[in-house]
Amino acid sequence: MNKTKTKHAIVIGAGIAGCSVAYALAEHGVKSTVLEANNTISNEASGNTIGVYYPRLTASPSPFSEFYQYAFLHTCDLLKQLGKNTGCKQTGALMLDFDKNMRIKNQGILKTSKWNKDVIHHLNQEQASSIAGVNVPVGGLFYPQAGYLAPKLFCKSLLDAYSDMISLKINHPAKSINYTTKTKTWSVTGNDNETITADIVIIASGRKLTDYIQSSWLPLKHVGGQVTALPQTEQSSKLKVVVAHKGYIPPAVDGIHYMGSTFHRLDKNPELLAETTKDNLENINVLSEQIPSLCTNKINTKEINGRAQIRTTTLDHLPIIGRVPILLDWQIEYKGLEKGKITENMISLDSSSYYPNLYVTGAFGSHGMTSAPFAGAMIAAEATGNPLKITKEVKYAVHAGRFITRALKRRVAINY
Ligand SMILES: Cc1cc2nc3c(=O)[nH]c(=O)nc-3n(C[C@H](O)[C@H](O)[C@H](O)COP(=O)(O)OP(=O)(O)OC[C@H]3O[C@@H](n4cnc5c(N)ncnc54)[C@H](O)[C@@H]3O)c2cc1C
């Protein structure tokens, strides 16, 4: 890989987004300091004991689907590269045709997918039950390379892989970030007013992505949710693959299925959530409705634990990855969108206005394990002048600037 003049980056946040970008930068020869507000890495959204990874595709071809195809294969390769320390089990994942809409969607995905049978194929109910190891009520799409992993171990492996290039500062919340034009450097100030300088800054702060002046306008949505730690039964211990239905259930790890998950819309800037019995019950009810064979025993919900957290997402359900646009400059440069004088595809992302060497990676919704590693690779490649060969449409679909141009086109204020 090309080594570049860039010497040092600061990554704000040590969840899967921050750890992935630090790893990818190190691959390109760039050292980084990862600042984490809490006392451990992967303690917020990336802190569940087990997370599943599989692609998220649309029935017809779309930049959305294309992004998740790149991302899924990237994560599969990365997990192989990192080895077993990620807690990863490539069990395969079965996406059940659980209702008519899902069946039609799965058929569309299969028809339009360019992947071969090693990556995706359809199983009927009998084949699906045989591969799952338990009786499932319907067939579905099967992704043999998908599976589950331990998010904390995944994050740790990413940082450990380049321990000579990545330094971690825990209990170190970043308060503000400022650019000095004269020295072409960024300085990040912490709570104690200690300042660290670097050539590049990457904001990877999960639900706090908008805590900085430069990124404060990003229109985020927050969705609360809870995973439930369900003790295995004799029947469920036979489950061999991840099964996704209206929720998801992975095979048991140390006798527990970490399955999920509930969804609750939250206000802006939500505080962390407490676990509730109601949410555990909801997860269990959905499972027993969708895969009755896994819920044959009576369950005492009082003996069951869960973990509540906040998903950060966007209105179009795609993440935000790449350089941070200067909002006011874009609103002036692309004013023509309002009157139809220019169209979105006339916008050149490369020649638009940005804060120099300031990047953002986040809003991964329910799929951070699948998508954040690829986001890290995209940013590291762009920051070091070796951009990945992905289509302009995909780059735009996840670019922060899309929110500005869409607001101009619709003649509405950017919703932040
Ligand atoms: C219930 C639930 C179940 C889920 N299950 C899955 C799953 O099975 N598979 C999957 O792929 N995804 C799953 N997700 C989604 C996934 O967890 C997220 O997409 C992902 O963890 C987001 O990672 P992140 O790094 O962007 O954010 P986070 O993991 O929240 O990391 C952000 C970090 O930034 C730090 N930070 C914030 N502000 C500052 C600051 N000022 N200075 C320094 N540090 C700061 C925070 O402390 C935190 O550690 C689930 C989410 C929920 C809520």
Q: How far is CA 290 from the centre of its chain?
A: 26
Q: How far is the CA of 263 from the centre of ligand 1 (A)?
A: 15
User: Which is nearest to 55 in space by CA: 66, 44, 39?
Assistant: 66
How many angstroms separate the CA atoms of 314 and 317, rounded?
5
Q: How confident is residue 5, by pLDDT bands cut at 50, 70 and 90?
A: low
Mean pLDDT calculated for residue range 302-325: 94
Task: Please tell me if the CB atom of residue 56 comes closer than 6 angstroms to any atom of ligand 1.
Answer: no
Q: Rounded mean pLDDT of 103-131?
A: 94
Provide the token pair at 173.
Answer: 């919340």
Confidence check: pLDDT of 117 > 90? no
**CA-CA distances (angstroms) from residue 253 to 221, 263, 390?**
32, 24, 36
Superfamily covering domain 8-46+153-218+317-409: FAD/NAD(P)-binding domain (3.50.50.60)
Residue whose C-alpha is closest to residue 20's, from 79, 90, 83: 79
Distance in Å, CA 126 to ligand 1 centroid: 37
Residue 189 near residue 176, CB atoms below 8 Å: yes
Q: Any idea what DSSP says for residue 250?
A: P
Q: Cα 2 to the chain's mean position, in Å?
A: 27
CB distance 225 to ligand 1 below 6 Å: yes
Cis geometry, peptide bond prior to residue 366 (ω within 30 degrees of 0):
no
Res. 218: pLDDT tops 70: yes
Positive or negative, the CA dihedral 169, 84, 244, 360 is: positive
What are the residue boundaries of the structural domains of the chain, listed by start?
A: 8-46+153-218+317-409, 221-313
Phi, psi of 243 (to 5 degrees): -115, 125
Per residue in 139-152, pLDDT (tens digit) is 999 999 999 999 99
**Ligand 1, atom 16, residue with closest C-alpha:** 368
Q: What predicted TM-score, i.e. pTM, was given to this entire model?
A: 0.96
Q: Residue 416's pLDDT band (boundaries 50, 70, 90)?
A: low
Is the pLDDT at 385 greater than 60? The verdict is: yes
Q: State the DSSP code for 216.
A: T
Separation of alpha carbons 252 and 230, rounded Å = 9
What integer pLDDT is reported at residue 1 of this predicted model? 44
The residue behind tokens 């990365």 is: 78
Fold matches, 8-46+153-218+317-409 and 221-313? no
* pLDDT value of residue 6: 59
Per-residue pLDDT, averaged over 179-196, amounts to 93
Confidence at residue 278, expressed as pLDDT on a 0 to 100 scale: 92
Q: Is 33 in the pocket of ligand 1 (CB under 6 A)?
A: no
pLDDT at 303: 78
- In the predicted model, what is the mean pLDDT of residues 266-274? 83
Best of 11, 48, 169 for a ligand 1 pocket test (most atoms within 8 Å of beta carbon) = 48
Radius of gyration of the chain, Cα coordinates, nearest whole angstrom: 22
What average pLDDT does the structure give for the chain?
Answer: 94
With vertex at residue 64, the alpha carbon angle to CA 63 and CA 65, rounded to the nearest 5 degrees, is 90
Percent of the chain beyond pLDDT 70? 98
Name the CATH code of domain 221-313 (choices 3.40.50.2300, 3.30.750.24, 3.30.9.10, 3.90.1300.10): 3.30.9.10
